[in-house]
Amino acid sequence: MKYTLDYQKYAELARRVAAEGSVLLRNEEDTLPLRRGQRVSVFGRTQFEHYKSGTGSGGMVNAPYVTNIIDSLKENGIIQVNEALEQVYREWLKEHPFDVGEGWAMEPWNQEEMPVDEELAVQAAGQSDAAIVVIGRTAGEDKDNSAAEGSYLLTALEEELLRNVCHAFEHTIVVLNVGNIIDMKWVDRYQPQAVLYIWQGGQEGGRACVDVLTGKVNPGGKLSDTIAEDIEDYPSTENFGDPVENFYTEDIYVGYRYFETFAKEKVKYPFGFGLSYTKFQTEILGFSVQGTAVTAVAKVTNVGGVSGRETVQLYLEAPQGKLGKPLRQLTAFAKTEELKPGETEELLLKTELAEYASYDDSGVTGHKSCYVLEEGDYIFYAGTDVRSAAEAGKATLTELRVVRMVTEAMAPVQEFKRLKPFFFEEKDHAIANWEDVPLRTIDLADRILKERPTQSEYAGDRGWKLADVSDGKITLEQFLTQLSDEDLICMTRGEGMCSPKVTPGTAAAFGGVTEGLKRFGIPIACCSDGPSGIRMDCGTMAYALPNGTLLACTFDPELVEELYEMEGMELRKNKIDTLLGPGINIHRNPLNGRNFEYFSEDPYLTGTMAAAQLTGMGKYGVTGTIKHFACNNQEFKRHDANSIVSERALREIYLRGFEIAVKQGGAYSIMSTYGPVNGLWTAGNYDLLTTILRKEWGYQGIVMTDWWAKINEEGEPGSGRQTIPMVRAQNDIYMVVADAASNSAGDNTAEGLADGRLTRAQLTRNAANICGFLLRSVAMERFLDREEEECTELHNPISTEGAGESGQVLARLELPEPKILEDIELPLEKLSTKKGTSAVFQLHFPRIGRYELVFRMSSTLGELAQLPISVFLNNTLQQTVTLNGTEGQTMERVVTLPIRQDGEKYMKLYFGESGIDMHRMFLRYVGKNDIESFRNE
Ligand code: BGC
């Protein structure tokens, strides 16, 4: 494949997306956009330290640069920045540097703010026409937000800053550089003239923000979540954060589905809302129903003074029937092109009623385990947010229709009550009614046993290679008869982090990971985080893209697809077959730390955006791994906290985005979740991964676990070694083990085969899923040398030569004449293991041979912390090793260094995350062994 990766175009596109996803919530007196020549004072330290993303695996892209707001304002030059104030901040920042925290999940939610007293505010106001106040927040993996000051709420210093600035200035613009919605009560308290959410916009975030502030881009973004008055107003808040059991009592009433049905008055900014610098008039021109297909035509006219884009959304109110329904469900949306003042565009909004059928998990309609459309009026509302959408037309069903008959799956086993609307008098306002959640009635063990495949022959090596399958010479089934049980077991193991068998610094290698598998011509595929750019822990740089929430707020899947085409090229260029993303969990509660990676509280918007990304990347032969399947809705105790949720809520809300990504986006790689759902850890959850995913949805791709996930047999505790239920459920790959051939961490697949708890046929089925993925991968073409790859790179600002800065030489050592297995100590005195630092040792090797570099270290962090160290020799990456948090225990990691020539070498260590306590580092000579041969390598 020939393609051109033009980084300038990539950056421009990322910038445009970041600007278009910005949401303007308030703009009194037309404060925005800023006008040429206006004088502006910029407050808040985040103007200098832009949050490109949240934290954890989804935030570890080594971006070549990150633009910030202040420099972008000055670069832009349209307005005049108050440089005296800027200088005050710069001086203060010298004494108050950015606190990255002690490693994984330890970066604080906010950074200490510079105090701004009345005097400073008044002084600045005297020299300026307007103020911009930038507020920043982060959160992420292993670190939820908190309903506390500094996270969901403002700090006392931020309150003071806003109070003083809003008081002193006639025009104050508040810019929110946050991963997720935050509490907005301060808007009433201080009444700033303008409020703009810019989310976390990736490396171009600063510039994109300035494009919006100065009106180069008219913000067309719409909220992908409801902003309620108070965090307590979200019905999931009550149960969010429970370390053991999280009851989803709000059931299908998530986000606006809840607020529009039960608590309209608690909404501050409705779902779908966002202002523009111009005004639009929307008119419904037509509405038609054919069978269950619904079409509305909306005419949008720009009646304001500047160009802009508008999004029209189509919501459904289904009849309450016996099941009860939310008063609104998003069923379609469409966005205009850029309309000049006076211009008009007609938008087509199409939907299919059957897609919004309700799932009857109790049998109350007489159709248990069916998707049904109950009889009555299906009223559609069109508009520019959920609240103001006006009636557009209706479809009427005179009798109930069964749309799909499926089978009960994943039902809970614990009793609890769920919310259901009850309409007393007012048609548009329900009161809460609580009903028992239907519990599981099927015998799961029996289902698994009955459905288990039994036939699978072992024929031994017949000389076939996987390429013979792609060339149509043999079938995949025939091919797999050659693999021994041992081979099949090895194929269920993904190797990582940072396997040397694939692109350095990536999350895992999978497929032909052992010599045995390679013999059959099975290639090794590579995956890496995601979702907002490529994470390569050895320091290799990649583009950092806008976060998931921002992408959703564009309401523009075509634009997102275009951006992810570029991402697809970048993946392909880096020899990565699948990005670990998009993250498509539902924003169930604003406090989830990973909301920044996910799109929305709405499953249709979520699925549509995921499908767009997959389509984009798919154009370059690579794909994304949609994650985390399913219910990764809280980070706290994410390995163990049990999500207890009704089958209806699963199907209509939590699985729905995945279903869309599979059916419309053609997803063929999925990651299961860490935690259990209804008592079964998802990586071994048969009904999730086989009954629903494969049998119902017809999915044919792979499923991988999340990294070091747990699995269980029903009623038993979860464990990373319990791979029997994983294989049985068709979670094809366990991520990750250090060495797939032996898996020293241990799993019990072989034991299961030996005692009959597993069959060879089950393992073969998983191998077929994996080979299916490989057969369509670029890894396969590459393995066969059939790939005629030609990537032309233009305007590349990215250095591929290892970590950012080159690092300081800490010591020069003349290594002694080596003796086998004698340790040569490396000095630790000046070593810093802080995130992003490099340390260089200048070493004189008296002889060729293999040396081992041994790190003896510990970390007080928990075992899910990922702390990578990359080792370079003369700027060439040798290996990246990852220490997981050890909770204080000392562990070793070893990197082998082949010294092909004696003499001077620079050995650079690059630390990708803070949190490592290094106790000892030493070199150990392990001999010359095959040194003569590798001299010529
Ligand atoms: C995260 C995943 C990620 C994986 C690999 C896990 O900790 O939950 O989303 O893809 O690590 O980095």
pLDDT > 90? residue 803:
no
Confidence (pLDDT) at 69: 98
In CATH, what number is assigned to the domain containing residue 813?
A: 2.60.120.260
- Residue 563, domain member (yes or no): no
In a shared domain, residues 111 and 161: yes
CA of 631 to the centre of ligand 1 (A): 15
Confidence (pLDDT) at 210: 98
CA of 707 to the centre of ligand 1 (A): 6
- Residue 124, domain member (yes or no): yes
pLDDT > 80? residue 838:
yes
- Residues of the chain with pLDDT > 90, as a percent, come to 87
- Residue 267, domain member (yes or no): no
pLDDT > 70? residue 358:
yes
Maximum pairwise Cα distance, the chain: 91
CB distance 617 to 571 below 8 Å? yes
In a shared domain, residues 690 and 777: yes
DSSP string over 772-797: HHHHTSHHHHHHTT----EEEEES--
In a shared domain, residues 842 and 915: yes
In a shared domain, residues 526 and 667: yes
* Higher-scoring residue by pLDDT: 321, 898: 321
pLDDT > 90? residue 103:
no
Confidence (pLDDT) at 804: 41
Residue 356, number of CB atoms within 10 A of its CB: 21
Residue 684, number of CB atoms within 10 A of its CB: 28
In CATH, what number is assigned to the domain containing residue 285?
A: 2.60.40.10
Burial code (b: 16+ CB inside 10 Å, e: under 16) for 195-217 equals: bbbbbbbbbbbbbbbbbbbbbbb
In this structure, is the dihedral angle defined by the CA atoms of residues 277, 281, 282 and 286, taken in order, positive or negative? negative
Lowest mean pLDDT among 39-43, 244-248, 432-436, 876-880: 876-880
pLDDT > 70? residue 805:
no
Q: Which domain holds residue 845?
A: 802-935
- Ligand 1, atom nearest to 141 Cα: 8
Q: What is the mean pLDDT of the chain?
A: 94
- Ligand 1, atom nearest to 627 Cα: 9
Confidence (pLDDT) at 515: 96
In a shared domain, residues 517 and 610: yes
- The residue whose CA has the least distance to atom 2 of ligand 1 is 706
Average pLDDT for 473-501: 96
CB distance 18 to 201 below 8 Å? yes
- Ligand 1, atom nearest to 496 Cα: 5
d(CA 772, CA 780): 11
In a shared domain, residues 194 and 308: no
Grade residue 930 by pLDDT with cuts at 50, 70 and 90: low
Domain end, chosen from 172, 198, 219, is at 219
Confidence (pLDDT) at 848: 85
CB distance 531 to 61 below 8 Å? no
Q: pLDDT tens for residues 636-661?
A: 999 999 999 999 999 999 999 999 99
- Residue 540, domain member (yes or no): no
Q: pLDDT tens for residues 294-353?
A: 999 999 999 999 999 999 999 999 999 999 999 999 999 999 999 999 999 999 999 999
Residues with CB under 6 A from ligand 1: 57, 141, 507, 529, 580, 627, 706-707, 864
Lowest mean pLDDT among 59-68, 253-262, 406-415, 779-788: 779-788
- The residue whose CA has the least distance to atom 6 of ligand 1 is 707
- The residue whose CA has the least distance to atom 4 of ligand 1 is 707
- The residue whose CA has the least distance to atom 7 of ligand 1 is 707
CA of 521 to the centre of ligand 1 (A): 29
CA of 705 to the centre of ligand 1 (A): 9
- The residue whose CA has the least distance to atom 3 of ligand 1 is 57
pLDDT > 60? residue 799:
no
CB distance 122 to 5 below 8 Å? no
Give the distance from CA 724 to its chain's centroid. Answer: 28
Q: Tell me the backbone φ, ψ of residue 438, rounded to 5 degrees.
A: -65, 135
CB distance 117 to 167 below 8 Å? no
Question: What DSSP designation does 102 have?
Answer: S
Confidence (pLDDT) at 26: 98
Pairing of strands 623-624, 401-405: unpaired
pLDDT > 90? residue 806:
no
- Residue 269, domain member (yes or no): no
Q: Strand, coil or helix: what is 659?
A: helix
- Ligand 1, atom nearest to 535 Cα: 12
In a shared domain, residues 735 and 815: no
pLDDT > 70? residue 788:
yes
Give the pair of three-digit tokens for residue 317.
């109110």
Q: pLDDT tens for residues 177-217?
A: 999 999 999 999 999 999 999 999 999 999 999 999 999 99
Confidence (pLDDT) at 937: 32
- Residue 237, domain member (yes or no): no
Instruction: Using CB atoms within 10 Å of the CB of residue 741, give its burial: 0 to 12 exposed, 13 to 18 middle, 19+ buried.
Output: middle
- Does the pTM surpass 0.75? The reply is yes
In a shared domain, residues 425 and 456: no
d(CA 263, CA 181): 19
d(CA 483, CA 472): 19
In a shared domain, residues 72 and 151: yes
CA of 57 to the centre of ligand 1 (A): 6
Q: Strand, coil or helix: what is 752?
A: helix
Grade residue 819 by pLDDT with cuts at 50, 70 and 90: confident
- The residue whose CA has the least distance to atom 8 of ligand 1 is 706
Give the pair of three-digit tokens for residue 829.
């005195």
**Active-site position among 687, 706, 732, 747:** 706
- Residues of the chain with pLDDT > 70, as a percent, come to 98
pLDDT > 70? residue 807:
no
d(CA 842, CA 787): 40
In a shared domain, residues 781 and 810: no
Lowest mean pLDDT among 283-297, 452-466, 870-884: 870-884
Phi-psi category of 821—alpha, beta or left, where left has phi over 0 and alpha has psi -120 to 50? left
CA of 536 to the centre of ligand 1 (A): 13
Confidence (pLDDT) at 929: 63
Nearest to 205 by CA among 534, 579, 551, 591: 551
- Residue 254, domain member (yes or no): no
Q: Which residues contact 290 (CB under 8 A, 6 or more apart)?
A: none
In a shared domain, residues 84 and 130: yes
Q: Strand, coil or helix: what is 209?
A: helix
Confidence (pLDDT) at 933: 43
Task: Give the chain's domain count.
Answer: 4
How far from 409 is each of 240, 416, 678, CA to CA, in Å? 24, 18, 11
- Residue 566, domain member (yes or no): no
pLDDT > 90? residue 485:
yes
- The residue whose CA has the least distance to atom 12 of ligand 1 is 57
pLDDT > 60? residue 787:
yes
In a shared domain, residues 394 and 304: yes
d(CA 270, CA 253): 15
Q: pLDDT tens for residues 142-177?
A: 999 999 999 999 999 999 999 999 999 999 999 999
Average pLDDT for 742-752: 93
In CATH, what number is assigned to the domain containing residue 668?
A: 3.20.20.300
487 is known as an active-site residue: no
Domain end, chosen from 377, 410, 432, is at 432
CA of 706 to the centre of ligand 1 (A): 6
Domain end, chosen from 219, 248, 269, is at 219
Grade residue 931 by pLDDT with cuts at 50, 70 and 90: very low
